[in-house]
Amino acid sequence: MATPVLHLALIPGAGMGHLRPFLRYARLLVHHQYCRVTLITSHPTLTLEESELISSFCSALPQVNHIQFHLPPVDAATAKVTDPFWLQFEAIRLSDHLLSPLLSSISPPLSAVISDMILTFCLLPITESLCLPNYILFTTSARMLSFLSCFPAVHGSKSSASSASFDGEVLEIPGILPIPKSSISPFLLDPNSRFANIFMEDSLKVPKLNGFLVNTFKELEGQTMEALNGGKVVKGLPPIFSVGPLLPCEFERKDQLGTTLKWLDGQPEGSVVYVCFGSKAAMKRDQIRELGDGLMRSGSRFLWVLKDKPVDRDEEEELDEVVGDDLKESMKKQGLVVSKWVDQGDILGHKAVGGFISHCGWNSITEAAYNGVPILAWPQHGDQKLNSEIVVMSGLGIWMKSWGWGGKALVKGEEIGEAIKEMMGDESLRLKAAEVKEAARKAIGVGGNSEVTFKTLIDEWKKNNVST
């Protein structure tokens, strides 16, 4: 009997934070002897960076079949949203009738679909009609998955199989630590918001999926993974697999990084604070100036990836226009400020980096964990407070909860400077981060939990492929 060849379609959502883990997982699959991969991406992409990353991925892995799913333009007024991320999602929803013929026409026939959680609403009916197993690559934490699974409880609905309860201040979820109301995005607390409606719809469909692949590892979120798989959070959930940390790949590197690494090479070991708030978040200018002041007050060297605009394609401004001439000149003596996308994996892995001020996007947390870099959490929106809770619970970093959501209140430079000193001066934090690093590397090493899980999934797909 011939060895079965698996054909897996990966369908990421919009945004770099969603695209990167999909491409990293696709690379793992491509290098497995049984797997053939088709990557389906939306066109146009949300940002120029996404388009460039996809192009680099396809050049590095030409054996991947890349299909562009062309989207119609969506009017923001009609969609009643202005966020580019959600406009992209609306465009996909309006085109979902085109996905069924696309998936059914792929040759050889697909063995399974691995899609983004944000696409569950429109994809699940299609994969069910085609009798295709549908797995979700969950691009954030298992804690966030727990929250999503029992989300109806937040608005008093009894329509899920969860015994979670929300008293208005704390969401009690069986098997895991409670989630404070303050950690939940305000958009999700408004029952009339588009965001809350999507969460409600998706949470009810979770049990119909074939499984979740979560970019996490046992030592980081073991208790939560146990609760999910043990039926404590929601009865009847599909299997939850830890497949992380999903690491940066060669195709993600950019040429301009050489200057950044050269600067780091000249700094003492563990002396540099890396500052980055991801590809989507942008600070207001008054907060940017306070952050710059705080970095100077901390006395630490710093590498700051500065962004003062939300998702955009090409817009740039000179540094002095953003932070002011005086601060710009003083910062030159103590740090390096860049406005272009950088290879975060190489930066966090550099011996000179001893701390990370982060918005706590999940990719950033897993990369910091893999490299054992302590985090000063400063969540800006979305799932980032829930992720910050994991940073604290795991001992990977600290979180100044009084700062609230990014942009809601101005955090002064004095506070920021003191918090940086605390992070950089805490030896116990550094030791704990080193333990997390060891656990992350063990998870994806030979015989590690995530490595074993990868093989388990391949075996499951092979078995299903033979039976069909």
Active site residues: 18, 116
Q: How far apart are CA 7 and CA 29, in angstroms?
A: 10
CB-based burial, 372-407: b 16+ in 10 Å, e otherwise: bbbbbbbbbbbbbbbbbbbbeebebbbbbeebebbe
Taking the C-alpha atoms of residue 126 and residue 113, their distance in angstroms, rounded to an integer, is: 11
Q: Distance between CA 391 and CA 393 in Å, rounded?
A: 6
Q: Report the C-alpha gap between 431 and 372 in whole angstroms.
A: 9
The two tokens of residue 413 are 């430079």
- How buried is residue 170: exposed, middle or buried, by Cβ count under 10 Å (0-12/13-18/19+)? middle
Distance CA 69, CA 52 (A): 17
- Rounded Cα gap, residues 449 and 453, in angstroms: 6
Q: Encoding tokens for residue 137?
A: 């690559």
Tokens 């955090």, residue located: 411
| 72 token code pair | 């119609």
d(CA 236, CA 186) in angstroms, rounded, equals 29
Alpha-carbon gap, residue 156 to 146, rounded angstroms: 17
